[in-house]
Structures are given as structure tokens and as C-alpha cells.
Structure 1
């Protein structure tokens, strides 16, 4: 055979015999490298979020609140606790600089600085409580829903016992007996919110355990913990995260209610609910002390609720097409698949 002819398959067998691998061929001039799948997925989610203006605004507000809670206390220092009785109950104005932009309270402390520090305190209670209840409740619910039988009955009866008592009443009783601190509030709220995730995860696992891919994994001898982790959890996770986003609103409002009643966050610490409680007697003369932290609570909870509704649709493959419609046609065509839309 002549030297210029190459038999089929010989180009694959011509790899170098040494232990080093051949260098990847450089892309031809004028061609671009393949896009990063993770970057493409992120850009797709951002485009879907941008199509829903309400969800985009909610995401921006929550992002700003998170940034303020993380870095705000480092910027203001002790400004939130600094008193100036000569500046008591000053209305919002620019004459006193940036810290007087939202006025002062009865002790002359900057309301702006206290709002920033209160954001960090409120989120430091709500976020750990939601994460703890999400982790424990989801783990127990997936385990009980997958195995069923007595395990499921035992776990569900424990959830029923916890749900039989109002969470706010339990928090009031426990915090009245023990010292009201941020750690105790986190533990109480986490325990009382576990049944929410437990029942949701149990329902998801009970429905998925009879699916074909789970039966196939079980046939090949895959341990149950790996089936739960690799096959059931990824499908149930979007629903659990949506529930967690909504539950974040409930936990934050509960913390604000406890602080308003005087058994939550205690001075010299400050939270949004405590600010509302401290300023309620000056509502007619200094409305900004109560209205501004109340407005912060409303904006944060509404933003989280709107974002949770968007996330529920975005993570559901059967409903995700709704977010691809133009805003004007989304309401009228909400129940019509895209292939049937004229």
C-alpha cells in the first residue's frame, strides 16, 4: 500500500507511545470555543428572571438587604448605639449628614444606622432557623417517605405532635421560662418549623420511590441512602427550596412579633421588630421610628414571596415555558402550552 493512503481507524491508533498525552488541537481561525455549560445555564436563569419584572425587583431588594446585613455593621461601627440627647426625635433631613437622613430616635440615635444593624440581627436569626429546619426536616422526610411503613408512621406522628401546638405560643412559653436570646430564638423557630419540610419531603419521596429509575437503582443493589441522595433529593430540592423561601418570611415575622412583645431580641441588640416596639409610643410625633423598620419588614417579606413564586415556576420543567412568554401575553396564555399559542 502506498504511503499517502491511510486506512480507516489508523488515525486513532497513531497515538504517541509515551505516557504523555497529545496536545488538544487548536481551534481553527475564526471559530470560537464551546460555551461553558454552567455559564450558559446561569445566563438562561438570569434571562428568565429578567422577563419577570416583579421577581427581578424582589431579587434586587433581597440582594441589597443581604449586602447591608453582611457589610453594613462594618461600615457604621458603633454609630447605631451612639446617643445624642440634643438630637432627640429629629425628623429625616440632610442637614445632619448621611446618618440623619432617616431621622433619630428618642435617645438621638441614627435610625439609618439602627436599621442597618437591625438587618444583620434579623437575618442572623431567620436564616439559621430556616436552614436548620430545612436540613433536619428534609432528611427525616425523605428517609421516612422512601422506606414507608412504621418508620413513616413514627416520623409523621412526631410531626403531628409538633404541629398540634402553635409555634408562636411555644416560642412565647419557652422564651418566658428561659432567657430570651438570639440562640434560643433560632433553636425554637427551627424546631417548630421542622414539620413543614418533613411533610413536604415525605410526600415527594413517597411519590418518587415507585418511579422506574428508582426501581432500576434498587435492582442494581444501590444502597438506600445513595438512592435518596442521588435520585430523589435532586427532584425534591426545588420544591423544598421554594417552601424555605416562603418559610423565611414566616420566621422573620415571628421574630419581629417576639421582639415586639418584648421576649425576642433584647437591648442593646436591635432588630426590626424591636425598633417597631420601641417607637410605637412616638407614632404620632415621630412616625419614622416605627414606620421605617415596618416598611423594611414588609419589603423583605413581599420580595421573598414574589421570588419564591417565580422560583417554583422556574424549577418546574412542565411550567417553565410560562416565563418565556412576553409579559403582555403571559396572563392570557398562562394555561396554553407554547406550541399552541398562535
Structure 2
């Protein structure tokens, strides 16, 4: 399953990187003689193998280009929230005191608002651009990493290796950088893999509601929104981008589960293939 998930994510990544420069013009071209072509037919060319929409645009080309747009929002948002939340959380958890209290109250305030509702309000007030979309999604997800890093670093603060480092005169930031961060990082990366699915679904939901990615740009959520009105006579314009969202989120979830087990010595045995026992031997 993990291998299949890696293949799916690699394919999505290649589409995101190579799709816009190779198929960007094709995704915007309108062919009025090829309106609402049904999928799985190459009578009009390979670009219409997944059909066309009401303006005669290739669904395949739009899917590939939309992968780049969707990932250009999800990846920076996750990376930004991961870096800020992790550094902030380790700083608060290792120093404790008022730093920890203030940080946790800020996290509680942000988490008191549903992420989707917060994004809807902010993007309604400001321009629904890609930069604003990345910023609001990153801010909404910072508390997830902040609380995780704070809990892990607060527990590691009292370990013997941290006390030994202080005895030898090592500063707090040096202890965090050299000893705490390498232990906390695998957990944070697993959280980031799962959070990537949430951010991508949130972006798709915002684009579906009309306050995310705006035309002429295209994303998977926007394609679902544009194809919703034609489900009865052109179902492929909404179904294929919906399948792309589902496959990507499932693949990332499977990979996150595999990474969690691989990084946990107590569960790593689940990844090993059991050997065939000889006749008469106990398994």
C-alpha cells in the first residue's frame, strides 16, 4: 500500500511540476467543435481522452494543470505552519513558564474558530488570492504543530541528556537544536503528512464555494464547482477532479500511517513480512 501511495504522489508531483509549462495553453484553449466530448475516446485527439467541458476545454489538461495550482497552495501552507509552529512550540515547551501559558492561550484562541469558517471570513474581507489563501491556511494550522512540539519538548526537557547538556554549560537553544529537535521532528513530519490532506481539502472546499482559486486559474475544487451544474449530461467534468482529490488524500494518509509505524520502534514489526515457517516449527 505504501508503494502504491508513493507512486500516486509521485505522479501528482510530476503533474504539478511539468503540467503548467507543458499543458498550460492547452488547458485554456476552447474548441467549440469539441464541446462536452465523452471520456475514453481519442477521436478528437489524445488530449480529450478524459472528455471536454462545456467550452470544449480538455479535462485531462485541466486536471494536470490544476494539480500544480492545488499543490502550490497546500505545500507552502503546510511548510509555513510546520516551521513556525514547531519552532514556537519547542521554544515554549522547553522554557515553560509564562512563555508556555501565553503560547497555549494564543493557540486556543485560533483553534476556537473552525479553520474553514476562519478562511471564509478572511477571504471574504480580503482579496481571495493565492497568497492570502496560503497565509490564512497556514495561520489556522500553526496551533496543531505548536501544541505537538510543546508537549514533546516539555517532556524531553526533564530527560537525563538535557540535564547533562546543561551541566556542561550548553545553552537552551543549543539543546533544542541538537537534542530535542531531532527527536521531535519525526512526529511533526507525520502530523504534517496528515495535515496536508486537511489543507488540500480545505482549499478545494474554498474553491468550490467560490472564494478560493479564481478563474482563469484552475484547481481541482474549482473544477468540481464548475462541473456541478452539468452532472446529468457531463458528469466527467466534476467526477474526475473529485477522484483526483480523493486519490491524493488517501495516498498521503496511507503514507503518513506507514511513516508513523516506521518511526515507532514499538510498531515497526508490523511492516515486516512474516517468514514462512517450516513444518513442525512454531510461528
TM-score (norm 1): 0.79
Root mean square deviation, CA, Å: 1.4
State which of 243, 247, 255 in structure 2 corresponds to 1:295.
243
Moved beyond 3 Å, runs of 4+: none
Give the 5 Å matches for 1:31-42. none
Distance in 2 between residues matched to 1:258 and 1:283, nearest whole Å = 20
Which residue matches 1:16? Answer: none
* 1:89-104 equivalences in 2 (<5 Å): 89-92=36-39, 93-104=41-52
The partner residue of 1:240 within 180, 184, 188 is 188
Query: Aligned partners of 1:327 and 1:316: how far apart in 2?
Result: 22
Deviation string, structure 1 residues 12-52 (Cα, Å, up to 9, x no partner): xxxxxxxxxxxxxxxxxxxxxxxxxxxxxxxxxxxxxxxxx
| Matching residue within 57, 62, 66 for 2:9 | 62
**What's 1:158 paired with?**
106
1:262 aligns with 2:193: no
Aligned residues: 278
Structure 1 Cα separation of the partners of residues 133 and 22 of structure 2: 27
Q: Give distance in 1, aligned partners of 2:134 and 2:47.
A: 31
Structure 1: gaps of 5 or more residues: 1-53, 330-340
- Which deviates more from structure 2 when the two are superposed, residues 227-236 or residues 311-320? 311-320
Partners of 1:327 and 1:164 in 2: CA distance = 50
Residue 253 (structure 1) aligned with residue 184 (structure 2)? no
Structure 2: give runs of 5+ residues left out of the alignment.
none
In the superposition, the TM-score normalised over structure 2's length comes to 0.96
Give the secondary-structure state (helix, strand or coil) at the position aligned to 1:142. helix
1:205-220 alignment, distance < 5 Å:
205-220=153-168
Deviation at 1:108, TM superposition (A): 0.3
Distance 2:157 2:266 in 1: 20
Structure 1 residues 198-221: Cα deviation after superposition (integer angstroms, max 9, x where no partner): 000001001111111111111111
- SS of 2:233 mapped into structure 1: coil
- SS of 1:221's partner is coil
Aligned mate of 1:147, from 73, 92, 95: 95
Matched-pair contact (CA < 8 Å) for 2:115–2:140: yes
